[in-house]
Structure 1
Amino acid sequence: MGNVIALVLLGILALVVGGCVCVVWAERGGPRWTRVVAATTLGAGELLRRSGKNRRRGLDQSADDGD
């Protein structure tokens, strides 16, 4: 079971690193597929950032309700 989790985490890490490489490469005028991967990576990052903000905002509201 531990090996499966490690493989999944390594796969996620490889996707993140690959996405970051594509963002840099696309900025320097890489091929079209790098621009597609870069846009997908940046979009996923924005979604994660927004979900984190919403989660924190919900925690702040629940703390205010306790008073």
Structure 2
Amino acid sequence: MILVLLGVLALVVGGCVCVVWAARGGPRWVRVVSTVTVTAGELLSAGMKGSRGRNGSSSSDE
């Protein structure tokens, strides 16, 4: 289980490095990895927003 989590962490960190590198004009493969990373982040973010709305509960404890 720890190895799987370390692998996921390495992919996330590597993706973030590629996003920064692509913003500075890196090679083509870096721009491809950057696009995949940003797209995956947007999909995960949209999925989290959608799952919160489906439960019918809000998490604001003001």
TM-score (normalised: structure 2)? 0.89
Q: Report deviation, 1:60.
A: 1.4
Of 30, 37, 47, the residue aligned with 1:34 is: 30
**In the alignment, which residue of structure 2 is the partner of 1:17?**
13
Runs of 5+ unmatched residues, structure 2: none
Identity %: 62
Runs of 5+ unmatched residues, structure 1: none
Q: Please tell me the root mean square deviation across aligned C-alpha atoms, in Å.
A: 1.4
TM-score (normalised: structure 1)? 0.83
Which runs of 4 or more aligned residues in structure 1 lie more than 2 Å from their structure 2 counterparts after TM superposition? none
Number of aligned positions between the proteins: 58
Structure having the higher Rg: 1
In terms of fraction of residues, the more helix-rich structure is 1
